[in-house]
Structure formats: structure tokens, C-alpha cells
Amino acid sequence: IGGHPKPQEGPMRVPGVKRVLAIASGKGGVGKSTVSSNLAVALARQGRKVGLLDGDIHGPSQPRMMGATQRPASPDGKSIIPLQAHGVTLMSIGLMLAEDKAVIWRGPMLMGALQQMMGQVQWDHYDGELDILIVDLPPGTGDVQLTLCTKAVVEGAIVVSTPQDVALLDARKALDMFASLKTPVLGLIENMSLFHCPECGHEAHIFGHGGVATEAARLGLPFLGALPIDLDTRLAGDAGTPVALGDGVMADAFAGIAGRLIA
Ligand code: ADP
């Protein structure tokens, strides 16, 4: 009897960060990483100090999407100095490995890597404390999501889905997971909502249309916006210069969603 109380096991604030926002999806390939990089850039353009943590450890896309290739330095072998790209402070496992190198890790290694990226990266290295850290989660409801939401104070999650039934089915599972973890869902985004043919002006609902807004209404969650299928968005992502850096319709759409998040 007696002795010291056990250290608290509850969620910790990510050092150097005011607010953590997670970007999630049920299915892969719905545009979660594209939304993450573009929202990060849009928030930075609106004067916020923004970080982007690539939590998709098995399939890190952010080095390519943000055009970052340098290996982050670790002067003392412990703390890690993140990179800066397009005004956003960035960290990804992909920066530590060759682009075609696989991360073949089981759950505990993944959880350790995420905790290192949260705790050992000097998020405040460039401009002092970050206003917002965007975490690009892997798809699904696995170890990384569980670790983030239980070990870190997460202000909320945003769920990205296409309007297609199979994507929505998995998006509902992600929403159910956040409800179980008591992580607030700040809203839903419908990506690849429609295709506007630049040649003939015809609009096609390739993956359906409106399903995500309907789901948000059904659950009483905010609907943050619909993004079309857009060739420039894909090209800009592949080129490492997110479309939100420009001035077109897509940049406006991302700016609008970013504005809603900080309103
Ligand atoms: P996820 O992170 O959900 O796996 P990504 O963001 O990697 O999805 O997107 C998958 C692919 O779709 C990428 O090639 C990306 O450039 C493309 N993409 C995403 N959103 C759009 C969009 N609105 N219009 C066109 N291409 C898109």
C-alpha cells in the first residue's frame, strides 16, 4: 500500500501543437490524402500555422503529394526536425525510406512509429506552436486510428468518402469507430462527387452523387463540401504542388472547407 500513483495513461497533448484534426476514410483511394494535403495548404494560405503528419505508414503519399524528398534531420538522435513544404510543416515515414521500399511492420511497430511522429517531431520548429496538425490516417479502422485517438488529444475527425455505396458502407464503419472512441466527427466530405467534361460540358456522376450529404444529414453531422473529379487535382497531387496552391475552382473549394473548419 502506498507508493507513488501510476503515471496517467490517458491521451496526451501533441507537443508543439494546439489542435489535432484527423482525416479519415473507410476505403482507400477515395482521396483522403489529396484532401489532407490540400486542406493543409489552404489553411496555411489562410494564415494558420499548419502541420501535416502522414499517418498512412504502409502507404505514405504525402512526400509525393507535397513534393518533399529530403530526409528529416535528427541532430541528437532522438528529436526529429520535420520538413517544410508549401508553408506546411511535414513529417512522413516515407521521408525516411526510398519511395519503393515497403514498410513491413506489425501493429506494435506501427503504433510506435506513430507515437514517435507525435512525440519526437519538433512540430514547433519553424514558426512556434502549430495552430493545427492534420493527420492523414490510413483507410479503415485499425491500429493507427486506435493509437491516435487513445494516446493523443484529438479535437476531431473528418471523414472523406466518395458517394459510391461500397465507399459509404466503409465510411459508416469509420464513423462508428470514432463514436466508440469518443472522438468527435467534425464533418463529412464527398470527394469525386461529379465529373464535368471540359470538352462538352456534360456532367457525369461517375460514383453517384449526394450520398455523403445524405449520410451526414441522417447522422446529424456537418456536411463540409463536395469536390468534383478534376484532372488538375490529380496532376497537381502527382507533381507535389497541391491544387490548393493555385486560384481555380478547386483551390476555392478547399479554401471554403478550410474556412468552415476554423470558423
Ligand atoms: P486515399 O488517400 O483515400 O487513398 P488519394 O488521395 O491517394 O486517396 O487519391 C487516390 C487517387 O485519386 C490519387 O491519384 C489522387 O490524385 C486522385 N484523386 C483524389 N481526389 C481526386 C479528385 N477530386 N479529382 C481527381 N483525382 C483525384
Which domains are assigned to the chain?
17-262 (3.40.50.300)
Residue to probe by mutation, ligand 1, list 34, 92, 190, most atoms within 8 Å of CB: 34
Structure confidence at residue 208 as a pLDDT band (50, 70, 90): confident
| 28 known ligand binder | yes
Ligand 1 in contact with 28 (CB < 6 A)? yes
Residue 97: per-residue pLDDT: 87
Helix (H, G, I), strand (E, B) or coil at 3: coil
Atom of ligand 1 lying closest to residue 230 CA:
24
Q: Three cell numbers at 42?
A: 489552404
Report the mean per-residue pLDDT for the chain: 94
Q: Three cell numbers at 179?
A: 463514436
Work out the widest C-alpha separation in the chain, in whole angstroms: 79
Mean pLDDT is lowest, of 89-93, 102-106, 153-157, 175-179, for 102-106
- The CB density around residue 209, as the number of other CB atoms within 10 Å, is 17
Ligand 1 in contact with 192 (CB < 6 A)? yes
d(CA 61, CA 64): 6
d(CA 68, CA 203): 35
How far, in Å, is the centroid of ligand 1 from the Cα of 105?
A: 25
Q: Is the pLDDT at 230 greater than 80, yes or no?
A: yes
Tell me: the pLDDT tens digits for 189-199? 999 999 999 89
| 156 known ligand binder | no
How far, in Å, is the centroid of ligand 1 from the Cα of 179?
A: 26
d(CA 169, CA 239): 31
Residue 244: per-residue pLDDT: 98
Ligand 1 in contact with 237 (CB < 6 A)? yes
ipTM over the 0.85 cut-off: yes
| 33 known ligand binder | yes
Residue 8: per-residue pLDDT: 55
Q: Is the pLDDT at 7 greater than 60, yes or no?
A: no
Atom of ligand 1 lying closest to residue 227 CA:
23
Atom of ligand 1 lying closest to residue 27 CA:
3
Find all residues with CB under 8 Å of 186, minimum gap 6, and list them: 21, 155, 156, 157, 158, 222, 224, 261
Ligand 1 in contact with 34 (CB < 6 A)? yes
Residue 101: per-residue pLDDT: 87
Atom of ligand 1 lying closest to residue 61 CA:
7
Tell me: the pLDDT tens digits for 30-80? 999 999 999 999 999 999 999 999 999 999 999 999 999 999 999 999 999
| 32 known ligand binder | yes
Which pTM does this prediction carry? 0.95
